[in-house]
Amino acid sequence: MRAHLGVIFLILGLHHSYGLLVKNLKDDTDELVAVTVLYRDGARSPSKSFPNDPYYDLSYFPMGFGQLTQYGRTQQYELGQWLRSRYSTFLSEDYHVDDIYVRSTDTDRTLMSALANLAGLYPPKGDQLWNKDILWQPISVHTLPTNEDQVLYMERPCPKFNRLYDEVTKNHFFQSMNEEFADFYEQLSNLTGWNITDVSYIYQLHQVLDIYANYDKSYLPSWASNLDQAKLDYLAGLSFISWTFTDELKRLGDGPFFDNLFSGFDKVLDETQQAPNFLMLSGHEGTIGSVLNGMGLFDYKVPDFASTLIWEVKKSSEGEHYVNMFYKRHGTEVVDQLKLFECDYNCKYETFKSILNPITVDLATWDKECAETD
């Protein structure tokens, strides 16, 4: 098993060297023309937990299960302030409906995250200050029912995706992983009360422990500090990539997201159209993990609360458009620059689109492909 893990971590190390951990680069001579940000919700209460958890009770979580905590509100408010600082010369300090479009999944914590973020991004001033006792202003956040939203929630019904995912989880790789980590599964089963048989349980456990570490460390079980954290982190990350493990799953899982991303940029770059040049997307850790893995950039680390992916499109002095990506993990001011393996930094916009074209699909086509039975 150690040899197997060694190969895995070697692969991850090579992955990092090509795609991640390059500090933010700026070219102040070029014009920033469009921005899209995708962030995870702020810290929240658990939506589920293991049977042996004595703290999974509403008496310990008065805000309810799966809800944004006070700390989560603060995280998003501070992220909004950070975005204001980063884009102070791009976004007007006064809110205007034509400047920004905000979309969220239809869950309480992501909707509240968007509202808290906007409070930090657009504190009212001047004639937008409608109540001197409330330094806040209402800004629209758009959403769709979860069973219709494949852009952010990514669980719109798709029979073909379900079939392909079931095949993947039963393939040799995942079955060998289950066999290889069977002792770890048994250890965790005894501790949690779950009958752990695959990586999905590991992700759920990882989430609960992360939530408690952010909410109240006294809720963490005494055995948590003795767990093999490397195994726990790796298997939780493996759970993420299982949903986009193959190119077909990436297309069905991520395709509408990238179509939405490029459609928004295309409208901004088309001088005959008027469109907001700042798109804000409030999603989940699964949204970020899926998008990262779709681009071949997931590093097997579950995205932190309020983690943020950024796409910036700039126009050079020669009139050429290019795109750069950045990843801000919560708790650090360092912004890592990401790049597709096939494209340098300052990647030409059309090249960037063409690289991701095989997994980009509009929703109408997606619906047709999902209905296919073979």
Q: What is the pTM assigned to this prediction?
A: 0.91
Per-residue model confidence as pLDDT tens digits over 284-326: 999 999 999 999 999 989 999 999 999 999 999 999 999 999 9
In terms of Cα–Cα distance, which of 50, 125, 24, 41 is closest to 77? 41
Q: Is the pLDDT of residue 44 over 60?
A: yes
Instruction: Report which of residues 61 and 372 the model is more confident about.
Output: 61
Q: What residues does each domain of the chain span?
A: 2-157+245-371
pLDDT recorded at residue 336: 94
- pLDDT tens profile 202-219: 999 999 999 999 999 999
Mean pLDDT of 188-192: 98
pLDDT for position 215:
96
Alpha helices in 33-135 (DSSP H): 70-86, 108-121
Compute the mean pLDDT over every residue in the chain, rounded to the nearest whole number.
91
Q: Of the candidates 221, 276, 269, which has an alpha carbon nearest to the alpha carbon of residue 56?
A: 221
How far apart (Å, rounded) are the C-alpha atoms in residues 347 and 323?
A: 5
Q: For the domain made up of 2-157+245-371, give the CATH fold.
A: Rossmann fold (3.40.50)
- Residue 333: the pLDDT is 77
**332-349 pLDDT tens trace:** 778 999 999 889 899 999
- Digit-coded pLDDT (tens) for 210-256: 999 999 999 999 999 999 999 999 999 999 899 999 999 999 999 99
Between CA 266 and CA 275, with CA 271 as vertex, the angle to 5 degrees is: 60
